[in-house]
């Protein structure tokens, strides 16, 4: 029976699937993969459905929903290792770590998770090689001790830095195309309390402030910039919140906004951006000095029905719209130049930023296709996008120009938030991409594991290479 799925955030990838399978254990998962291969069908894989750009679904595919695979398989309380099935989401992973006593007291905890949403799976986060708000960490792949992967033959393979090392590097940040991640072993750290330190600063001080805060013992932080394009401080002024390690053991219960306040700010970010920034800044300033657990501090409020909420506030005949994300990376010394160019691009095209933040990332030394190919500043834009031809074209043009701006400064961009980048742009940012496509065919000659995003760029690179 056919079924339809769409991504949760952008709502721009409605996909018709042949069927949706929800395996309950590893044996069922292997059997489904072998059956699909025997029947010459192809497979797409998802977890929380937050991946965009067609990364997680393939039209006409047998689709694997892995959220039922969420059990803890083993843990090592001496070394701080947790093996858990890849369908577990981040709240479940965090809860599992809290049952693991640390030899020096307290318990173990995750080091990082992707930000903005919690109901995404470990397998999905690994496939995207996600990152969080850490000031001096690599992407998530650095936190992975090993992976248990099912290949295109239905075989179960243990992959780590010594065993099946090449496949390990391809699966991390491999967007689900080199095998299905059944389970992963996470490297943990001792649970730590942190204190929130808040400053309202200008962008030209932000990078220096990152290093100052890191020297002061801050582990996490980000800079959330002003989004009102009519304000001279657009993309320049922002809330810089960092989290400094402390010895406290009595932190606040939550670091994030409650849902009602989140929706109020989201609506203001659409309708009154200056007021949204004032309220957001005041909220953070009011929490300066508060203390939180470093792991649960990384949990986020996210309302999946945000688009329906906003639609209910607009006229009945208003065009559907949602937010589309782009993430752009530049060497830290080029951040000011990039943001100045971004300001001009967004203003000229009349594209609205509803939310934006800047984070830090260290060079990825784990994955074959790293988006963090150097120590970068990461700039995230959520662009308001009407689901009309003009609205989609405007957003696409904005992201193409932002990609050109970042790559001209020796930067890069995240590959799968959308399919607006040309083959030339992808090749410029990821010069090993053509080799990556060849390795895909080497490990999966029949292209059993597919996505609409993969098929698009496979075909684009074929056309681009043709004489």
Residue 149: strand pairing partners = 157, 181
Looking at residue 354, its pLDDT comes to: 97
Query: What's the length of the chain?
Result: 467
| Structure-block tokens of residue 61 | 């595919």
How many C-beta atoms lie closer than 10 Å to residue 350's C-beta?
A: 9
Mean pLDDT value across residues 169-198: 98
How many C-beta atoms lie closer than 10 Å to residue 145's C-beta?
A: 17
Between vectors from CA 326 to CA 233 and to CA 149, what angle results, nearest 5°?
145
Q: Nearest Cα to 246, choosing from 191, 198, 204?
A: 191
Residue 429 has pLDDT above 70, yes or no: yes
Looking at residue 301, its pLDDT comes to: 87
CB 272 within 8 A of CB 231: no
Looking at residue 292, its pLDDT comes to: 94
* pLDDT band for position 367 (cuts 50, 70, 90): very high
| Structure-block tokens of residue 383 | 């662009």
* pLDDT band for position 91 (cuts 50, 70, 90): very high
Mean pLDDT value across residues 92-112: 98
pLDDT above 70: percentage of residues in the chain: 99
pLDDT, tens digit, for every residue of 370-385?
999 999 999 999 999 9
- Name the one residue in this structure whose structure tokens are 């003009």: 390
Looking at residue 466, its pLDDT comes to: 59
* pLDDT band for position 303 (cuts 50, 70, 90): confident
Q: How far apart are CA 141 and CA 324, in angstroms?
A: 25
Q: How far apart are CA 261 and CA 149, in angstroms?
A: 41
Measured in degrees and rounded to the nearest 5, phi and psi for residue 246 equal -135, 170
Q: C-alpha distances in angstroms, 326 versus 13, 241, 354, 412?
A: 16, 22, 12, 11
Mean pLDDT value across residues 434-462: 98
pLDDT above 90: percentage of residues in the chain: 88
CB 61 within 8 A of CB 450: yes
pLDDT, tens digit, for every residue of 250-296?
777 776 778 888 889 999 999 999 999 999 999 999 999 999 999 99
- Domains of the chain, CATH where assigned: 3-65 (3.30.43.10), 72-190 (3.30.465.10), 193-425 (3.30.70.2520)
Burial pattern 317-330, b for ≥16 Cβ within 10 A else e, equals eeeebbbbbbbbbb
Residue 410 has pLDDT above 80, yes or no: yes
CB 180 within 8 A of CB 150: yes
Looking at residue 312, its pLDDT comes to: 80
Measured in degrees and rounded to the nearest 5, phi and psi for residue 260 equal -65, -40
Q: C-alpha distances in angstroms, 454 versus 19, 44, 45, 447?
A: 20, 11, 13, 10
Least confident of 101-110, 204-213, 448-457: 204-213
How many C-beta atoms lie closer than 10 Å to residue 7's C-beta?
A: 22
Rounded mean pLDDT of the chain?
Answer: 95
Start-to-end CA span in the chain (Å): 42
Task: Report the predicted TM-score, pTM, of the whole model to 2 decimal places.
Answer: 0.96
Residue 455 has pLDDT above 90, yes or no: yes
* pLDDT band for position 166 (cuts 50, 70, 90): very high
Burial pattern 279-312, b for ≥16 Cβ within 10 A else e, equals bbbeebeeeeebbbbbbbbbbbbbeeebbeebbe
Helical axes 259-271 vs 273-286, angle rounded to 10°: 150
| Structure-block tokens of residue 335 | 């951040």
Q: C-alpha distances in angstroms, 308 versus 305, 316, 389?
A: 5, 12, 21
User: Which residues lie closer than 8 Å to 330 by C-beta, 6 or more apart?
Assistant: 337, 338, 376, 377, 379, 406, 409, 410, 411
Q: Nearest Cα to 176, choosing from 286, 281, 86?
A: 86
């Amino acid at each position: 029976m056919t079924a339809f799925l769409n991504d949760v955030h952008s709502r721009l990838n409605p996909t018709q699937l042949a069927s949706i399978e929800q395996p309950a254990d590893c044996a069922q998962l292997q059997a489904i993969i072998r059956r699909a291969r025997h029947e010459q069908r192809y497979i797409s894989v998802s977890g929380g459905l937050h991946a965009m750009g067609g990364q997680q679904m393939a039209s006409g595919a047998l689709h694997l929903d892995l959220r039922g695979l969420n059990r803890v398989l083993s843990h090592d309380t001496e070394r701080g290792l947790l093996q858990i099935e890849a369908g577990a989401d981040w709240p479940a992973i965090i809860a599992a770590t809290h049952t693991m006593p640390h030899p020096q007291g307290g318990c173990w905890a995750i080091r990082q998770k992707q930000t903005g949403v919690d109901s995404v799976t470990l397998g999905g986060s690994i496939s995207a090689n996600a990152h969080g708000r850490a000031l001096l960490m690599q992407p998530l792949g650095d936190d992975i001790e090993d992976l248990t992967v099912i290949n295109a033959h239905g075989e179960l393979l243990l992959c780590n830095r010594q065993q099946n090392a090449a496949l390990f590097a391809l699966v991390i940040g491999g967007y689900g195309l080199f095998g299905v991640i059944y389970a992963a072993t996470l490297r943990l750290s001792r649970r730590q309390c942190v204190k929130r330190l808040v400053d309202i600063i200008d962008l030209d001080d932000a990078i220096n402030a990152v290093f100052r805060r890191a020297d002061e013992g801050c582990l996490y932080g980000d800079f959330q910039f002003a989004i009102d394009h009519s304000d001279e401080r657009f993309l320049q002024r922002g809330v810089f919140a960092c989290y400094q390690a402390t010895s406290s053991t009595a932190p606040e219960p939550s670091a994030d906004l409650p849902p009602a306040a989140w929706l109020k700010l989201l609506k203001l970010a659409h309708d009154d951006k200056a007021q949204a920034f004032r309220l957001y800044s005041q909220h953070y300033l009011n929490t300066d000095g508060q203390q939180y657990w470093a792991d649960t501090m990384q949990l986020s409020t996210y309302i999946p029905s945000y688009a329906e909420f906003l639609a209910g506030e607009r006229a009945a005949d208003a065009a559907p719209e949602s937010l589309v994300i782009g993430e752009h990376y530049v060497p830290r010394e080029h951040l000011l130049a990039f943001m100045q160019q971004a300001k001009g691009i967004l203003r000229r095209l009349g594209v609205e930023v509803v939310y934006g933040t800047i984070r830090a990332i260290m060079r990825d030394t784990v994955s074959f296709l790293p988006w963090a190919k150097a120590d970068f500043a990461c700039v995230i834009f959520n662009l308001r996008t009407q689901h009309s031809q003009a609205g989609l074209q405007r957003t696409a043009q904005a992201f193409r120009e932002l990609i050109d701006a970042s790559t001209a400064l020796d930067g890069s961009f995240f590959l799968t938030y959308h399919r607006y980048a040309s083959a030339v742009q992808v090749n410029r940012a990821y010069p090993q991409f053509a080799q990556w496509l060849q390795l895909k065919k080497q490990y999966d000659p029949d292209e059993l594991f597919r996505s609409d995003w993969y098929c698009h760029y496979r075909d684009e690179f074929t056309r681009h290479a043709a004489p």
